[in-house]
Chain A
Amino acid sequence: MTGASLTIQSEPVIGLQIRALATRSVLRMIRSPATLVPTLVFPIFLLAVNVGGLDSATELPGFPTDSYLTFALAFTFIQSAIFSTMNAGQAVSQDIENGFFDRLVLTPMRPSALMVGQLTGLALLGVFQAFLYLTIGLVFGADFAAGPAGVAVLLLLVVIISLGFGGIGLIMALKTGSSEAVQGMFPLMFVLLFFSSMALPRDLIETTWFRTITDLNPVSYLIEALRSLMITGWDPPVLAAGFAIAIVLALITISIAAKLLAGRMDR
């Protein structure tokens, strides 16, 4: 027994831990159809409803495109990112509730390994969703003005946005340890989405209070950055604003989550 114990590496490799946790994160997602299917299907469903009901908005003077599908597709990416809030939060809160988190804590795993492993799964799902929605959009006639390089930029932005929103889910999970609390946050995230420029360009919103809220809502700028790649092509100021907000959101939420995680593990 003692001889065998000597063969354990004195300092477990963090890369090994991250890979193991990322693999678990992906396996868990793939094997949870009740979580995965709504995450994939619901944004498409809402996109179809919006496009069917709001197509005539393209006739408004100043509307940036004659394809409402192209306009609305950006909203789908953000919506799926919000789902990632739920997924990331649910995964961790369930681990806390069923004691699996304690099992992880009792290993020499580093908090950063758990964080990166969890977020890697999230990022992979984000990329898969973005590909799926983009493919569906293009098949049904959406434009993508920025071309193939724009697709890469869009995927990058979607991943950063997913990580930012995923960080919010992790914060809730680590703070409360309750999957119910994480679920309860979901409608609030949707409020953030609906009070943005998701349905109309901000300069066409005439109701003053609503316009003010959309101006203040960072989600508007995320949507507009994604949308610009499809409608305008390359719009550096809009892209810069979107990336800046996404990066700041991701840095803030992941930093807070990392601190909370370290607190939970450092006993």
Chain B
Amino acid sequence: MSAADEGITAEDLVREFRNGPRAVDGISLAVEPGEIYGFLGPNGAGKSTTVHILTTLLPPTSGKATVGGFDVVDQGPAVRGVIGAALQEAALDPHLTAREHMRLQTALQGLPHAERVSRGDELIERVGLEEAADRKVGGYSGGMKRRLDLALALVHWPRVLFLDEPTTGLDPQSRSALWEEVERLSGEEGVTVFLTTQYLEEADHLANRVGIIDAGRIVAEGTPAELKSEIGRPSVVVAPSDPGRLEDTAAVLERFGKSLPAEKGTVEVRLDRGVDELGAIVRELDAAGIGLASLVLNEPTLDDVFLAKTGHHLEGEALPGEDDSGDDE
């Protein structure tokens, strides 16, 4: 099985809005069956527009895409038959309970009568909403809505799952629970997952491969480890034991790489040749008679990759849970 048969492919996908920018500007990608593909980028980068095209909700201006082996333009109903989607806003009816949502979704998906109740109950239990299942969704917290949204997307055993910023605004516990479920779906059920996120940690933790998108274009793609080793080199942060030797310390370290803004009393440089230089650094500092209060090696992050590829940092990369005031769960 290949991406073209069971996964997701996109070839030069473009979406232009009238009087607006090119939201998607020539995206090509291939997601293998069973893979978790993280689509990482800041707000407005084109992540949601791409998801809308791949889920048949929005036609591309040009280009071609297949999902589960079906063309998103010419075979919309077939695509919709194999996908589940939890879009950016949890699309729920505040007047219905979780169980009523399940009943509606299982009926619309055409599940046989006997399975409608059991499948609904099974998914409600799986996302931990048993106790709230008969309460109206209007009173749910953000995390509970997200979990129900995911459960509804899974009703018909989709082969491909689209999750558009599924953990935005969630508290850390809800985020972990959702990550576990996504990993389980991919690992145990072989579901292909296309996940958009603006959180570095999420892409790093969950995705088998990451596509970094900025201004409608994929600027880097690979496994998180590949991306970091390819572009983001480690940095070293040194604090001399004598604060008066800070300039001498900087002079030594600048031989090994480019200087970075550092905290007071420390010097930081991005290492030109990676961790191999660590021994040489220690020897040269020792030769210069500089004592060390601390020496820390910082591994590269996906933000370093993003910075290297786009010239700016990823916006809104704060960890979920740091700003979850909207979540009262």
Contact = CB atoms under 8 A, between A and B. Distances in A.
B77 interface: yes
A42 interface: no
Contact of B89 (A99, A106, A109): A99
A103 B76 contact: no
B189 interface: yes
Interface in A102-133: 102-109
A11 B109 CA distance: 9
A237 B159 CA distance: 60
Contact of A98 (B55, B81, B89, B107): B89
B245 interface: no
B125 to A, nearest CB: 16
A266 B76 contact: yes
Interface stretch (A13-21, A169-177, A181-189, A193-201): A13-21
Nearest to A95: B93
A105 B87 CA distance: 13
Task: Name the residue in A1, A9, A24, A107 with the highest tally of chain B Cβ atoms < 10 Å from its Cβ.
Answer: A107
Interface string B50-93: 00000111110000000000000000110011010101111111
A1 B157 contact: yes
Contacts of A20: 103-104, 107-108
A109 B159 CA distance: 19
B57 A12 contact: no
Contacts of A19: 107
Which of A9, A95, A102, A267 is packed against the most chain B CB atoms within 10 Å? A267
B157 A4 contact: yes
Contacts of B93: 24, 28, 95, 100
B259 interface: no
Interface string B107-141: 11111100100000000000000000000100000
B76 to A, nearest CB: 6
Nearest to A94: B93
Contacts of A31: 95, 136
B310 interface: no
> In this complex, which of B55, B56, B91, B105 has the most chain A Cβ atoms within 10 angstroms of its Cβ?
B91
B110 A108 contact: yes
B309 interface: no
Interface in B168-224: 189-191
Contact of A99 (B76, B87, B103, B190): B87
Interface string A22-41: 01100110011000000000
Given A21-B104, A99-B89, A9 B83 contact: no
A16 B152 contact: no
Contact of A27 (B81, B100, B157): B100
A7 B112 contact: yes
Interface residues of A, number: 35
Contacts of A267: 56-59, 76
Given A5-B157, A8-B156, A31-B95, A24 B104 contact: yes
B285 interface: no
Contacts of B55: 106
B277 to A, nearest CB: 49
A102 B86 CA distance: 10
B96 interface: yes
A196 B76 CA distance: 47
A108 B100 contact: no
Contacts of B81: 108
A100 B92 contact: yes
Contact of A28 (B95, B107, B110, B112): B95
Interface string A84-99: 0000000000010011
Interface in A244-267: 266-267
Interface of B: 55-59, 76-77, 80-81, 83, 85, 87-93, 95-96, 100, 103-105, 107-112, 115, 136, 152, 156-157, 159, 189-191
Interface of A: 1-2, 4-5, 7-9, 11-13, 16-17, 19-21, 23-24, 27-28, 31-32, 95, 98-100, 102-109, 266-267
Q: Which 5 A-B pairs have the closest CB atoms?
A: A12-B110, A99-B91, A20-B107, A5-B157, A107-B108
Given A27-B96, A108-B109, 9 more contacts: A9-B111, A9-B112, A17-B107, A19-B107, A98-B89, A99-B89, A102-B57, A105-B80, A107-B80
